[in-house]
Structure 1
Amino acid sequence: MYKIHCMNPIAQVGLQNLSSQKEEGHSYEITADVEAAEGILVRSASMHETELPKGLLAVARAGAGVNNIPLDKCAEHGVVVFNTPGANANGVKELVIAGMLLAARDVVGGIEWVKAAKDDADISKSAEKAKKNFAGTEIKGKKLGVIGLGAIGVKVANAAVALDMEVYGYDPYLSVNAAWSLSRAVHHVTNVEDIYAECDYITIHVPLMDSTKGMINAEAIGKMKDGVILLNFARDLLANEADVLAGLQSGKVARYVSDFPNPTTAGQKGCIVIPHLGASTGESEDNCAVMAVEEIMDYLENGNIRNSVNYPSCDMGVCSKAGRVAIFHKNIANMITKFAAEFGEKGINISDMTNKSRGEVAYTMLDVEEVPTEETIRALENIKGVFRVRIVKG
């Protein structure tokens, strides 16, 4: 029986897949005791101060961002961390479109005026005079630059095309799947500065890394069109928001729309700050929960890894042999040779295997025709550079 701990509330539509597996020969238990957990499901709870349980095998984040999880620490302990890219993409896409409309038309200002004038008996007549203060522009025909063409960026680009915007997309690491999904009407540019120079609206959809932190800064803003509208529904730290405020004050930036409230931008003139609602839809939460549960189940039962952020993708399907051994190790030379030697010494035949690497770590799965003994497992664990060994099937 695998024990799963939920660090945040997880949608029942996902959790019910765990209980349904009892009928198929697998067994799961939701436990309140994190120390007993072999799998953890998490949304926003921070795990950086959490001591990793000794038996923990996997963490699945029901969402895309993993800033709340100690990835390197997990990797060194052979704990696979999953996320759910694309599961909340439609919810975020719709809010980005709403953000563009809110920035183009001062709907928020108009609503606030109506609230303030609620006691005016002749409010309809007053509104006709006041509405000129909230006039805006249409987004049709405007140029939108999408920085980052992942699951969300592609959906935003395609939706903007459908709204008759001229769309430019930038992503030096564009995946094959994203390329197939992207509308042919999107102009794919190879230099982000082309987006800065050409676009009326710029929306950013890249992961937060050392290389992307603060990429929207004074230098980048200086290359943009006067009156540019910036949208940030990815991570607030992607923008140097002090520089953005300076751009707003000078008039270089017309609006800054962010889904990340903080003391820098909250209540500032020209800032439309939303309380992190991007993925806050029932549909997104359900999709993320289902995807996270499916990932953690496939890993626990078969050793397969997909959508991990700290280990490589690796899929050998369902094991049909006597046993499957999963080995987490450093990405260094001769490791496979050493593994094979241990099995050969014990007279155990390897019928199938795969090895994948990601940066400094690697993952090897071997299907064997005889279930390895504890002695064999200990021998593998004692190989220098090995983090963890587990029997997935046997």
Structure 2
Amino acid sequence: MYEVKTFNAIAQSGLDTFTDNFEINQTDEPDAYLIRSVNLLAADFPESLKIIVRAGAGVNNVPLDRATEKGIAVFNTPGSNANAVKELVVALMIDTARNLFAAHDYSNAHTEADVSQRTEKDKTKFNGTELAGKKIAVIGLGNVGSMVANAALNLGMKVIGYDPYLSANAAWRINNKVKRVDSIKKAVKTADFVTVHVPKNENTIGLIGTKEMTEMKDGVVLFNYSRVGIVDNHAAVKAIRNEKISHYCTDFGEPVIANQPQITITPHIGGSTLEAETNGAIQGANTVMDYLENGDTTHCVNLPNMQVSFETAYRITVIHQNVPNMVGQISTQLAHYGINIENMANAAKKSVAYTIIDIDGLNQNNESDLITALNSIVEVYRVRVIKHQ
């Protein structure tokens, strides 16, 4: 029996996905955490914890380096809220093009008897533009960005895309009418709208700053529905004052952008739909089960992504440093205990490696000693023995 502890409100449909081999919220020493936005950066993790799954895209609320050193695999659920974010970006594009919020405020403020005559006179103040024929630059063409790009095409827009890390799977999702360029400068140069959809890491903090905004055409509309910090908010405010940016929409409020009429701030609701929360919870539950029962690391953030067919009686998984002779040291220990390897797979992600070893037999009396021996290898973070279900 595996134990799962949840944080935040996890959709019931996700909890219902777990099989009878899993118990939910019955202990403070679980095998798995299933979370949303809870801040774990300073949390103490129990020794029992093997996996943390974030039901959502970002994992900036999880201490990845510390989790790795404790042998805890960290996952997210990419794509589970992509449609929700896409729809919000499209809605705000329409709003900024047609001045909907300003028109709504005007109508609420003028409800007197002659409202019809007055609005007919004043409505030209809210003349907008149509999205059809306009250009949009999509920076980042992953799960969300590819959806935004395709939706913009369906609205009759011209789409320019930039993503130096575009995966083969993501490329298949993008309409071939999206014009791909090899720099942010080329992407934003003639765009009427610029939207950013990239993960937050050391390479993307401040990705859109003063330099990039200077390259944009005057009157551009800018969107940040990725993470706070990817767009430099101080630079955005300055660009608005200089009439470089006509409107800025973001899901992440900061004091510097508060109470600015040309800035629309939504309260981190990009992925907050019933459907997205359901998708994330279900995907998260399946991720927990796949890792604990099979050792699969698809969509793992801190380990290499591996999915190896499990056809033997037992599977040994080892999280370890990516240094020479690790596979040799592991094999030597298995040989010492007379264990024959049926299948082995190994992959690395930067400084961390993951090894999967399938075996047909294991003397139960030796299992504890084997785990101790493998864990005694200095570069090993965690060893697990999984019995085939």
CA contact (8 A) 1:260 1:275 kept: yes
Shifted more, 141-150 versus 262-271: the winner is 262-271
Report what 1:335 is aligned to: 326
* Pair 1:320-2:314 in alignment: no
CA distance in 2, matches of 1:322, 1:136: 66
CA contact (8 A) 1:6 1:32 kept: no
Report what 1:374 is aligned to: 368
* Pair 1:202-2:198 in alignment: no
Query: Aligned residues: percent identity?
Result: 40
Instruction: Tell me the amino acid that sits aligned with residue 377 of structure 1.
Output: I
Match of 1:91 among 84, 89, 93: 84
Note the residue ranges of structure 2 that are not aligned, 5 or more in a row: none
Match of 2:40 among 47, 71, 74: 47
CA contact (8 A) 2:4 2:24 kept: yes
CA distance in 2, matches of 1:66, 1:107: 34
Report what 1:137 is aligned to: 129
Q: CA deviation at 1:32?
A: 5.5
Report what 1:227 is aligned to: 219
Q: CA deviation at 1:269?
A: 2.2
Shifted more, 286-295 versus 192-201: the winner is 192-201
Report what 1:298 is aligned to: 290
Report what 2:116 is aligned to: 124
CA contact (8 A) 1:150 1:174 kept: yes
Report what 1:151 is aligned to: 143
Shifted more, 127-136 versus 8-17: the winner is 127-136
Q: CA deviation at 1:126?
A: 1.8
Residue 302 of structure 2 aligns to a residue whose secondary structure is coil
CA contact (8 A) 1:103 1:272 kept: no
Q: CA deviation at 1:212?
A: 1.2
Report what 2:3 is aligned to: 3
CA contact (8 A) 2:184 2:212 kept: no
Residue 367 of structure 1 aligns to a residue whose secondary structure is strand
Instruction: Tell me the amino acid that sits aligned with residue 3 of structure 2.
Output: K
CA distance in 2, matches of 1:32, 1:247: 52
Residue 36 of structure 1 aligns to a residue whose secondary structure is coil
Q: CA deviation at 1:369?
A: 2.1
Residue 306 of structure 1 aligns to a residue whose secondary structure is coil
Q: CA deviation at 1:362?
A: 0.6
CA distance in 1, matches of 2:214, 2:265: 23
CA contact (8 A) 1:146 1:204 kept: yes
If the length of structure 2 is used for normalisation, what is the TM-score? 0.97
CA distance in 2, matches of 1:252, 1:137: 18
CA contact (8 A) 1:227 1:254 kept: yes
CA distance in 2, matches of 1:208, 1:123: 48
Note the residue ranges of structure 1 that are not aligned, 5 or more in a row: none
Instruction: Tell me the amino acid that sits aligned with residue 56 of structure 1.
Output: L
CA displacement 1:236-295 (0-9 Å, x = unmatched): 211111110111111111110111122222221210111222111111111111111101
CA contact (8 A) 1:87 1:288 kept: yes
CA distance in 1, matches of 2:178, 2:26: 48
* Pair 1:12-2:4 in alignment: no
Q: CA deviation at 1:134?
A: 1.6
CA distance in 1, matches of 2:324, 2:126: 65
CA contact (8 A) 2:3 2:26 kept: no
Match of 1:215 among 199, 207, 213: 207
Residue 392 of structure 1 aligns to a residue whose secondary structure is strand
Report what 1:365 is aligned to: 356
Match of 1:267 among 249, 259, 269: 259
CA distance in 2, matches of 1:271, 1:245: 9
Report how many residues are paired: 385
Report what 1:31 is aligned to: 25
Q: CA deviation at 1:315?
A: 1.2
Structure 1 segments, 4+ long, off by >3 Å, are none
Residue 170 of structure 2 aligns to a residue whose secondary structure is helix
Q: CA deviation at 1:320?
A: 3.0
Residue 17 of structure 1 aligns to a residue whose secondary structure is coil
Instruction: Tell me the amino acid that sits aligned with residue 98 of structure 1.
Output: A
Report what 1:64 is aligned to: 57
Instruction: Tell me the amino acid that sits aligned with residue 223 of structure 2.
Output: L
CA displacement 1:309-352 (0-9 Å, x = unmatched): 111111123x3323111111000000001111111122110001
Report what 2:94 is aligned to: 101
Q: CA deviation at 1:156?
A: 0.4
Instruction: Tell me the amino acid that sits aligned with residue 354 of structure 1.
Output: A
CA distance in 2, matches of 1:117, 1:373: 78
Residue 212 of structure 1 aligns to a residue whose secondary structure is coil
If the length of structure 1 is used for normalisation, what is the TM-score? 0.95
CA distance in 1, matches of 2:251, 2:154: 23
Report what 1:74 is aligned to: 67
Match of 1:163 among 155, 158, 167: 155
CA contact (8 A) 1:149 1:171 kept: yes
